Amino acid sequence: MASRNEGERVLALSLQLTRTHDELRRRIRDIKAGLGRAGGIDEALRTHCLAFCSALTTHHRGEDEGLFAELLRERPDLAGTIANLVQDHTMISGILARVVELAGQAAEGRAADGQHADPAAIGRELDGLAAIMESHFRYEERALAAALDAGVPDTGWSGPVLSP
């Protein structure tokens, strides 16, 4: 039986996950706004972009390797939902790799083909990423809230998942 403090923390997990997602949403908005102001991508903006990509990757890896494994042990009925979320993570990972590639090229002032880098290309990738993230986050928050609030053993997954 969980103590009262543990129970209160468990009840807050869905809210903590939503707040983490909100922070990731804010960070991508800030990067997109900075890209628009700069008219290109400078080294500082590239650094912010890379930090965001790393944070989102860490968040998803923590879910895949920790939170989702625990949820499956507690709630095997969520297997289909978790499989969908993991599939989303794989797709998002591919977009993140493209964003990192474009950010590096734009910061160096070149495209992969040796031509001048197009900062608008990174903006388009970020727009697509933001749309997919939003859909993914809403689905995850809706589909997992009850299971999170019912309690999920924390085997160390909360650090990477809840700390963007």
Tokens of residue 32, six digits: 């997109």
Residue 2 pLDDT > 50, yes or no? no
Domain assignment present for residue 132? The answer is yes
Residue 34 lies inside a defined structural domain of this protein: yes
Asked whether residue 163 is assigned to any structural domain, the reply reads: no
Residue at 5 is within a domain: no
**Angle at alpha carbon of residue 135, lines to 132 and 138, rounded to 5°:** 145
pLDDT in tens, 56-84: 999 999 999 999 999 999 999 999 999 99
Q: 36, 1 in Cβ contact below 8 A?
A: no
What is the span of the domain harbouring residue 41? 10-146
Cα–Cα dist 26/14, whole Å = 18
**38 assigned to some structural domain:** yes
pLDDT at 109: 66
Residue 112 domain-assigned (yes or no): yes
Question: Considering just the CA atoms, what is the radius of gyration of the chain in Å?
Answer: 18
Largest CA distance in the chain: 63
pLDDT tens digits, 15-39: 999 999 999 999 999 888 887 665 5
Asked if residue 155 is part of any domain, the answer here is no
**Helices marked H in the chain:** 4-11, 13-38, 43-62, 68-74, 79-108, 119-150, 158-162
Looking at residue 48, its pLDDT comes to: 84
Nearest 10 degrees: CA dihedral of 115, 57, 76, 3?
-160
What pLDDT does residue 144 have? 96
- How high is the mean pLDDT of the chain? 85
Domain membership flag for residue 2: no
Is 2 within 8 Å of 10 (Cβ atoms)?
yes
pLDDT of residue 103: 79
CA-to-CA distance for 46 and 15, rounded, in angstroms? 30
**Structural domains in the chain (count):** 1
The answer to whether residues 62 and 157 touch, using CB atoms and an 8 Å cutoff, is yes
